[in-house]
A and B are shown apart, each in its own frame.
Chain A
């Protein structure tokens, strides 16, 4: 099966902890992304990454960092979570800049 796979589906953690979410795509796409969907259901881009360039949305706090071992994987690390980080994090990929996006099923984070 070719798709975008995210783990875990759901994660609960305490303020100050470090968390890491995994994303893998088996579509052979060149670029991967992380999006955040907040409590108001608005989706916003956090990072885009291919093997040449990392683009960071300037509004993303520094405690967030993407980690990639190859073009099929893009993980998201949060160094010290805060309550406002509670959200759904969606990973996506695309083949090139003129093609459509494919999204994973999301990781729901709850910070208590």
Chain B
């Protein structure tokens, strides 16, 4: 089964709305990372977040390693936030295992 479960699979927002994306891991992990994937395919790192809460602009990531979960909060969404958000975990420096992503669409 999928080791990294992301929810929801897709999300439609009106500009200005907030959103919460979830990531759950079925195994223990050492670290995790959130990415934004542009429609063209390139990945942009949002947060490297082994544990705790980190904020960057309108994005906040909270990871609780021992509970095997992480969340990404988008506040005051904008149309430029549209795209796919991926979370990934790592165990023992063996490379990242990705979820299938949450596709976010923000409309004006």
Contact = CB atoms under 8 A, between A and B. Distances in A.
In this complex, which of B31, B48, B84, B95 has the most chain A Cβ atoms within 10 angstroms of its Cβ?
B95
Given A98-B31, A99-B48, A44 B98 contact: yes
Q: How large is the interface on B (under 10, 10 to 19, 20 to 34, 35 or more residues)?
A: 20 to 34
Interface in B20-49: 31, 33, 35, 40-45, 48
Interface in B38-86: 40-45, 48, 84, 86
A37 B38 CA distance: 14
Interface residues of A, number: 26
Contacts, number: 50
A102 B98 contact: no
User: Which of B31, B42, B101 counts the most chain A CB atoms within 10 A?
Assistant: B42
A103 B100 contact: no
A101 B35 CA distance: 10
Interface of B: 31, 33, 35, 40-45, 48, 84, 86, 88, 93-98, 100-101
A100 B100 contact: no
A41 B45 contact: no
Interface string A23-54: 00000000001010100111111001000000
B25 to A, nearest CB: 15
